[in-house]
Amino acid sequence: MAPRYALVPDQHGPGGRLQPLTEDGTPLGPPEHVPALAAAVAEREVADRPRWVFAATDGAYAPLLPVRLARSHDLRLTEPLLLGQEGRFGEPRSLGAAWARLRGLPVPADLPESAAEDDQDGLFAPDRLQLPPGTDALEAVVAVHAEQLRRTAAIADPAERHRFRLLAAAESAGGLLAAEMARDGLPWRSDLHDRLLTELLGPRPQVPGAPPRRLAELAAELQRSLGGRPFNPDSHGQVLRAFADRGIQLGSTRSWELRRVDHPAAELMIRYKELSRLHAAHGWAWQAAWARNGRFRPEYVVGGVVSGRWATRGGGALQIPRILRRAVVADPGWSLVVADAAQLEPRVLAALSGDASLARTAAQGDLYEALAATAFHGDRSKAKLGLLGAMYGQTSGDIGPLLATLRRRYPAAMGYVEAAARTGEDGGVVRSRLGRTCPPPSADWLDLTEAPETAGEAGGRSARARGRFTRNFVIQASAADWALALLAALRRRLAALSSGADRPHLVFFQHDEVVVHTPADLADRVAEEVAGAAEEARLLVFGDTPVRFPMSTTVVDCYADAK
DNA sequence: TCGGAGAGCGCC
DNA sequence: AAAGGGCGCTCTCCGA
């Protein structure tokens, strides 16, 4: 029985090494080499339920799948969280870098992301750890892990320390889940995708690179409508010139600007841009590259955004146009449980700031409705606009009076975001609820603000921009904390619900929304677990708060039918 | 010929 | 009506 195991796969073959550890990272006996790592890990998972410690989830866990592990500690994901906590920004985060810092060796720079991309066979996995030649990887994993636990224990404030441990655990769980979702994939009906593209764009072009029929038609109509001279509708310069030739001066080709133009060509242009984007970003080429054998497999990048939101690499999984949700259909006999957190960010603000009055409006139901009733004479749109403006740092438009109202009625909440903004303007850093740290100002920001006599207006603009960033960071990053806790809890609950090939599993995660693919007869149970996980996340992240985080959950066959 | 910058728009 | 936070992706344009 060991509470933790360090795990390092062999460079070649299915074997690997395991090192039992105590809860504080001290080795328990000698390391063990096993010829079949996946089987050995699966066995210990059942017997001990340990926390698995590895350099990076993609290198150590992905090859073990479909073995499912409950808990892990990912050194690569935890290192930047700790560096931020310690005020050491921009230092390399690989295992090798952490090891070098520990041993006083020269610290290797992180490899650029592109170096990881071609690593289809994991051939370069050992190099990606960035360990000096001849270093024993298991020894490094054990040492860096113990050091990370020590650094975590050094966080002075007990409550902050506790929350940071939650953050590291949740981030690591995110790593496990991202690897699982990449493997399982999102159900994707290429036939329906194809039909949709054909309806909108015309038949798939036979000649690769040729524009679909509808785009060619629209381009021709545009040309006629603007006087017959040929121009490329994909070229902003040529579009501006074509409109100018008809006496229409445009500041840009943005669709909101085109929408105000009273000329038939404007509407054609808007339509062209919509369809051309669909074709370029999520058309047949995308389908061939990303949606194979009934599954779309995005590559998630856990913590890829400084706020802790996930990013994806290739495939644009987090920017799929809503219309394409029609192609996401559960397998026969299965269902999709689609759940999103309603009005997550304003609720996070209420919980973060401890504003009793705002918390009351966020205690249930439609937050904006409640806000409107108490402060905006029932005008929901004003309530929403005002609150969003406060969270984003908006200053222009007619928002002034709305912000004034909010400041009067919710001084604690508004004070919270304004304090975060001031910290950012002054060059400081802010943290999320669980302790994720925002990056410091960039070097050119310092140039602009530290020499005001030369920087002048640009310096002020830059400082205000950074104020908007830190203002939004505390909310966006704390919302990401909550979402990560939700994911970890839901993942655990789904595993408890059922095992084997027919188990419900997460297939999609987008900031504040999750999709679970489940055998249809378990769908209602899954929906209950979603609600339970949201409540669990609330308690873990915000503790004693009256704010509630309701999920809007639907059980559907097709993603497009949700909500 | 390639890479970076800028524009623009998809998602939250 | 069109400003304010975070991204990824694709296109054009332009300079090395």
Condensed to tens digits (0 to 9), the pLDDT of residues A270-283 reads: 999 999 999 999 99
pLDDT digit string, tens, across residues A515-524: 999 999 999 9
- HEC secondary structure over A435-470: CCECCCCCHHHHHHHHCHHHHHHHHHHHHHHHHHHH
Task: For residue A358, count other CB atoms closer than 10 A to its CB.
Answer: 30
Q: Could you tell me the pLDDT band of residue A235, with boundaries at 50, 70 and 90? A: very high
C-alpha span between A341 and A534 (Å, rounded): 8
C-alpha span between A144 and A133 (Å, rounded): 17
Q: Which residues touch strand C (CB under 7 A)?
A: A 232, 234-238, 256, 260, 280-281, 286, 301, 304-307, 309, 311-316, 318-319, 385, 388-389, 392-397, 399, 465, 468-469, 472-473, 476, 511
Whole-number pLDDT of residue A297: 92
Whole-number pLDDT of residue A290: 92
**DSSP assignment, residue A522?**
G
| DSSP-assigned beta bridge partners for residue A296 | A186, A291
- Any idea which nucleotide's C1' is nearest the CA of A316? C8
> Looking at the predicted structure, is the pLDDT value of residue A118 above 80?
no
The mean per-residue pLDDT over the stretch A172-191 comes to 95
C-alpha span between A442 and A432 (Å, rounded): 20
Task: For residue A363, count other CB atoms closer than 10 A to its CB.
Answer: 15
Whole-number pLDDT of residue A234: 92
* C1' (C5) to CA (A434) span, angstroms: 19
> Looking at the predicted structure, is the pLDDT value of residue A381 above 70?
yes
C-alpha span between A203 and A130 (Å, rounded): 49
**Taking the domains of chain A in order of start, what are their residue ranges?**
4-184, 190-287
Q: Could you tell me the pLDDT band of residue A451, with boundaries at 50, 70 and 90? A: low
> Looking at the predicted structure, is the pLDDT value of residue A314 above 70?
yes
pLDDT digit string, tens, across residues A291-309: 989 999 988 999 989 999 9
Whole-number pLDDT of residue A533: 97
The structure tokens 């309806």 sit at A199
CB A412 within 8 A of CB A358: yes
Mean pLDDT rounded to a whole number for chain A: 90
C-alpha span between A302 and A312 (Å, rounded): 8
Whole-number pLDDT of residue A124: 41
CA angle, A118 then A120 then A121, to 5°:
130
Instruction: Give the domain A190-287 fold.
Output: Taq DNA Polymerase; Chain T, domain 4 (1.20.1060)
**Cβ burial, residue A453 (10 Å; 0-12/13-18/19+):** exposed
Whole-number pLDDT of residue A438: 93
Chain-centroid distance of CA A92 in Å reads: 21
C-alpha span between A342 and A367 (Å, rounded): 9
The mean per-residue pLDDT over the stretch A112-141 comes to 68
C-alpha span between A526 and A506 (Å, rounded): 10
Whole-number pLDDT of residue A164: 97
**Cβ burial, residue A94 (10 Å; 0-12/13-18/19+):** buried
Q: Could you tell me the pLDDT band of residue A448, with boundaries at 50, 70 and 90? A: low
Whole-number pLDDT of residue A122: 42
Lowest mean pLDDT among A403-407, A478-482, A503-507: A403-407
Class of domain A4-184 as given by CATH: alpha beta
Residues 255-274 of A with CB under 7 A from strand B: 255-256, 258, 273-274
SS3 A329: strand
pLDDT digit string, tens, across residues A453-485: 555 677 777 888 889 999 999 999 999 999 999
**DSSP assignment, residue A27?**
B
Residues 301-330 of A with CB under 7 A from strand B: 318-323
* C1' (B9) to CA (A360) span, angstroms: 37
3-state helix, strand, coil in chain A (%, to 5): 55, 10, 35
The mean per-residue pLDDT over the stretch A403-408 comes to 90
The mean per-residue pLDDT over the stretch A302-317 comes to 90
The mean per-residue pLDDT over the stretch A449-453 comes to 58
Q: Which positions of strand B lie within 7 Å of protein CB atoms?
A: 7-12
> Looking at the predicted structure, is the pLDDT value of residue A126 above 50?
no
The mean per-residue pLDDT over the stretch A126-146 comes to 88
